[in-house]
Structure 1
Protein backbone atom coordinates (compact mmCIF):
# COMPACT_ATOMS: atom_id res chain seq x y z
CA UNK A 1 0.00 0.00 0.00
CA UNK A 2 2.65 2.55 1.03
CA UNK A 3 4.77 1.93 -2.07
CA UNK A 4 1.75 2.44 -4.33
CA UNK A 5 0.93 5.67 -2.52
CA UNK A 6 4.54 6.82 -2.85
CA UNK A 7 4.41 6.17 -6.59
CA UNK A 8 1.15 8.14 -6.86
CA UNK A 9 2.51 11.02 -4.75
CA UNK A 10 5.74 11.12 -6.77
CA UNK A 11 3.67 11.22 -9.95
CA UNK A 12 1.78 14.27 -8.71
CA UNK A 13 4.96 16.06 -7.65
CA UNK A 14 6.61 15.27 -10.99
CA UNK A 15 3.92 17.39 -12.66
CA UNK A 16 4.83 20.42 -10.53
CA UNK A 17 7.98 22.11 -11.89
CA UNK A 18 8.64 24.41 -8.90
CA UNK A 19 9.43 21.71 -6.33
CA UNK A 20 10.39 18.07 -5.81
CA UNK A 21 10.02 15.27 -3.28
CA UNK A 22 12.45 15.17 -0.41
CA UNK A 23 13.18 12.68 2.33
CA UNK A 24 13.77 8.94 2.39
CA UNK A 25 11.41 7.57 5.05
CA UNK A 26 9.29 10.66 5.58
CA UNK A 27 8.48 11.88 2.08
CA UNK A 28 7.59 15.56 1.77
CA UNK A 29 7.87 18.76 -0.24
CA UNK A 30 9.22 22.01 1.13
CA UNK A 31 10.02 25.53 0.04
CA UNK A 32 11.08 28.72 1.80
CA UNK A 33 11.92 26.63 4.88
CA UNK A 34 8.41 25.16 5.25
CA UNK A 35 7.06 21.70 4.50
CA UNK A 36 3.85 21.95 2.52
CA UNK A 37 2.90 18.40 1.57
CA UNK A 38 3.60 15.07 3.17
CA UNK A 39 3.11 11.35 2.71
CA UNK A 40 2.74 9.73 6.14
CA UNK A 41 3.73 6.21 7.18
CA UNK A 42 0.26 4.82 6.43
CA UNK A 43 0.26 6.28 2.92
CA UNK A 44 -2.03 9.27 3.46
CA UNK A 45 -1.33 12.53 1.65
CA UNK A 46 -1.59 15.86 3.43
CA UNK A 47 -1.35 19.32 1.90
CA UNK A 48 -0.82 22.57 3.78
CA UNK A 49 -3.26 25.31 2.81
CA UNK A 50 -4.07 28.77 4.15
CA UNK A 51 -6.51 28.40 7.05
CA UNK A 52 -9.67 29.64 5.30
CA UNK A 53 -8.96 27.68 2.12
CA UNK A 54 -8.18 24.55 4.14
CA UNK A 55 -11.43 24.85 6.09
CA UNK A 56 -13.38 25.22 2.85
CA UNK A 57 -11.53 22.25 1.32
CA UNK A 58 -12.44 20.06 4.30
CA UNK A 59 -16.08 21.11 4.00
CA UNK A 60 -16.26 20.69 0.21
CA UNK A 61 -14.57 17.28 0.13
CA UNK A 62 -15.83 15.85 3.45
CA UNK A 63 -12.39 15.38 4.93
CA UNK A 64 -10.53 16.52 8.02
CA UNK A 65 -7.18 17.65 9.29
CA UNK A 66 -4.10 15.64 8.39
CA UNK A 67 -2.26 13.52 10.96
CA UNK A 68 1.28 12.24 10.81
CA UNK A 69 2.71 9.98 13.51
CA UNK A 70 -0.46 10.56 15.54
CA UNK A 71 -0.13 14.35 15.62
CA UNK A 72 -2.46 16.77 13.86
CA UNK A 73 -0.43 18.83 11.40
CA UNK A 74 -1.37 22.51 11.68
CA UNK A 75 -2.93 23.91 8.49
CA UNK A 76 -2.74 20.54 6.68
CA UNK A 77 -5.77 18.83 5.16
CA UNK A 78 -6.12 15.12 4.56
CA UNK A 79 -6.55 14.31 0.88
CA UNK A 80 -9.33 11.71 0.74
CA UNK A 81 -8.69 8.74 -1.52
CA UNK A 82 -11.81 9.49 -3.57
CA UNK A 83 -9.99 12.58 -4.91
CA UNK A 84 -7.04 10.55 -6.23
CA UNK A 85 -8.71 10.32 -9.64
CA UNK A 86 -8.86 14.13 -9.84
CA UNK A 87 -5.17 14.71 -10.43
CA UNK A 88 -5.76 18.21 -11.83
CA UNK A 89 -7.35 19.28 -8.53
CA UNK A 90 -4.53 17.72 -6.51
CA UNK A 91 -1.85 19.36 -8.65
CA UNK A 92 -3.66 22.70 -8.31
CA UNK A 93 -3.75 22.22 -4.51
CA UNK A 94 -0.04 21.40 -4.41
CA UNK A 95 0.79 24.49 -6.45
CA UNK A 96 -1.48 26.62 -4.27
CA UNK A 97 0.27 25.24 -1.20
CA UNK A 98 3.68 26.08 -2.68
CA UNK A 99 2.51 29.62 -3.45
CA UNK A 100 1.20 29.94 0.11
CA UNK A 101 4.46 28.95 1.83
CA UNK A 102 6.38 31.29 -0.45
CA UNK A 103 4.38 34.18 1.09
CA UNK A 104 5.47 33.23 4.62
CA UNK A 105 8.60 34.72 6.23
CA UNK A 106 11.67 32.73 5.24
CA UNK A 107 12.81 30.25 7.88
Structure 2
Protein backbone atom coordinates (compact mmCIF):
# COMPACT_ATOMS: atom_id res chain seq x y z
CA UNK A 1 0.00 0.00 0.00
CA UNK A 2 1.44 3.37 -1.02
CA UNK A 3 1.91 6.11 1.54
CA UNK A 4 -0.38 9.11 1.12
CA UNK A 5 1.30 12.19 -0.27
CA UNK A 6 2.32 14.60 2.49
CA UNK A 7 0.30 17.73 2.74
CA UNK A 8 -2.34 19.48 4.77
CA UNK A 9 -5.64 17.66 5.43
CA UNK A 10 -8.14 18.28 2.62
CA UNK A 11 -10.85 19.62 4.95
CA UNK A 12 -8.45 22.21 6.39
CA UNK A 13 -7.27 23.17 2.90
CA UNK A 14 -10.88 23.87 1.91
CA UNK A 15 -11.36 26.10 4.98
CA UNK A 16 -8.08 27.88 4.28
CA UNK A 17 -8.96 28.45 0.63
CA UNK A 18 -12.39 29.82 1.59
CA UNK A 19 -10.68 32.40 3.82
CA UNK A 20 -8.19 33.62 1.24
CA UNK A 21 -10.81 33.67 -1.52
CA UNK A 22 -12.10 36.93 -0.03
CA UNK A 23 -8.82 38.74 -0.65
CA UNK A 24 -8.77 40.44 -4.05
CA UNK A 25 -5.76 39.54 -6.16
CA UNK A 26 -4.37 36.99 -3.69
CA UNK A 27 -3.85 33.43 -4.83
CA UNK A 28 -2.97 30.33 -2.88
CA UNK A 29 0.54 29.10 -3.47
CA UNK A 30 2.32 25.91 -2.49
CA UNK A 31 1.41 22.31 -3.17
CA UNK A 32 2.23 20.60 0.14
CA UNK A 33 2.17 23.70 2.34
CA UNK A 34 -0.53 26.09 1.14
CA UNK A 35 0.48 29.69 1.75
CA UNK A 36 -0.10 33.26 0.63
CA UNK A 37 2.46 35.98 0.06
CA UNK A 38 2.66 39.54 -1.11
CA UNK A 39 5.80 41.13 -2.53
CA UNK A 40 7.84 38.14 -1.37
CA UNK A 41 6.49 38.28 2.20
CA UNK A 42 4.45 35.29 3.33
CA UNK A 43 1.44 36.25 5.43
CA UNK A 44 -0.44 32.98 5.92
CA UNK A 45 0.40 29.29 5.85
CA UNK A 46 -1.26 25.95 6.48
CA UNK A 47 0.91 23.21 7.98
CA UNK A 48 0.80 19.55 7.05
CA UNK A 49 -1.07 18.95 10.30
CA UNK A 50 -3.72 21.50 9.32
CA UNK A 51 -2.71 24.35 11.63
CA UNK A 52 -3.06 27.77 10.04
CA UNK A 53 -0.42 30.40 10.75
CA UNK A 54 -1.40 34.02 10.26
CA UNK A 55 1.08 36.92 10.24
CA UNK A 56 -0.20 39.91 12.18
CA UNK A 57 1.12 43.29 13.30
CA UNK A 58 2.17 43.43 16.95
CA UNK A 59 -1.04 44.94 18.38
CA UNK A 60 -3.29 42.63 16.35
CA UNK A 61 -1.14 39.63 17.23
CA UNK A 62 -1.26 40.38 20.96
CA UNK A 63 -5.04 40.85 20.84
CA UNK A 64 -5.51 37.61 18.88
CA UNK A 65 -3.37 35.62 21.31
CA UNK A 66 -5.29 37.06 24.27
CA UNK A 67 -8.81 36.87 22.82
CA UNK A 68 -8.54 33.33 21.45
CA UNK A 69 -6.20 31.73 23.99
CA UNK A 70 -3.94 31.05 21.02
CA UNK A 71 -0.20 30.50 20.73
CA UNK A 72 2.49 31.61 18.35
CA UNK A 73 2.77 29.47 15.22
CA UNK A 74 5.52 26.87 15.07
CA UNK A 75 6.95 25.38 11.92
CA UNK A 76 9.44 22.51 11.94
CA UNK A 77 10.19 23.12 15.63
CA UNK A 78 10.86 26.84 15.24
CA UNK A 79 8.55 29.54 16.60
CA UNK A 80 7.58 32.12 13.99
CA UNK A 81 7.26 35.22 16.20
CA UNK A 82 5.03 37.31 13.90
CA UNK A 83 2.56 34.45 13.30
CA UNK A 84 -0.31 33.19 15.43
CA UNK A 85 -1.56 29.61 15.33
CA UNK A 86 -5.27 29.73 14.52
CA UNK A 87 -7.32 27.41 16.76
CA UNK A 88 -9.27 24.75 14.81
CA UNK A 89 -12.68 26.06 15.91
CA UNK A 90 -11.79 29.55 14.71
CA UNK A 91 -10.44 28.28 11.38
CA UNK A 92 -13.83 26.66 10.78
CA UNK A 93 -15.62 29.98 11.47
CA UNK A 94 -15.09 31.87 8.22
CA UNK A 95 -17.12 34.90 9.37
CA UNK A 96 -15.02 35.32 12.52
CA UNK A 97 -11.74 34.74 10.68
CA UNK A 98 -12.34 37.06 7.73
CA UNK A 99 -11.35 40.26 9.61
CA UNK A 100 -8.13 38.65 10.84
CA UNK A 101 -7.18 37.51 7.35
CA UNK A 102 -7.86 41.05 6.09
CA UNK A 103 -5.62 42.46 8.86
CA UNK A 104 -2.89 40.01 7.91
CA UNK A 105 -3.11 41.06 4.27
CA UNK A 106 -3.05 44.75 5.28
CA UNK A 107 0.02 44.12 7.42
CA UNK A 108 1.77 42.35 4.53
CA UNK A 109 1.18 45.46 2.42
CA UNK A 110 3.27 47.50 4.90
CA UNK A 111 6.29 45.21 4.70
CA UNK A 112 9.24 46.03 2.50
CA UNK A 113 9.19 43.94 -0.70
CA UNK A 114 11.68 41.10 -0.88
CA UNK A 115 13.47 40.15 -4.06
CA UNK A 116 12.01 36.93 -5.40
CA UNK A 117 15.13 35.82 -7.23
CA UNK A 118 18.70 35.64 -6.10
CA UNK A 119 21.25 37.79 -7.90
CA UNK A 120 23.44 35.86 -10.31
CA UNK A 121 27.05 35.27 -9.36
CA UNK A 122 29.60 37.09 -11.48
Higher helix share: 1
Partner residue, 1:104: 111
Cα distance in 2 for residues equivalent to 1:15 and 1:102: 16
After TM superposition, what 4+ stretches of structure 1 lie above 6 angstroms from structure 2? Answer: none
Separation (CA, whole Å) in 1 of partners of 2:101 and 2:25: 10
Query: What TM-score does the superposition give when structure 2 sets the normalisation length?
Result: 0.80
Separation of aligned partners in 2, 1:93 and 1:30: 15
Larger of the two Rg values belongs to structure: 2
Gaps of 5+ in 1: none
Aligned to 1:23: 30
After TM superposition, the structure 1 stretch with the greater mean CA deviation from structure 2, 40-49 or 79-88, is 79-88
81-90 or 53-62: bigger deviation: 81-90
* Aligned residues between the structures: 107
> Normalization by structure 1: what TM-score?
0.91
Q: Aligned equivalents of 1:6 and 1:82: distance in 2?
A: 14
The CA deviation at 1:88 is 2.1
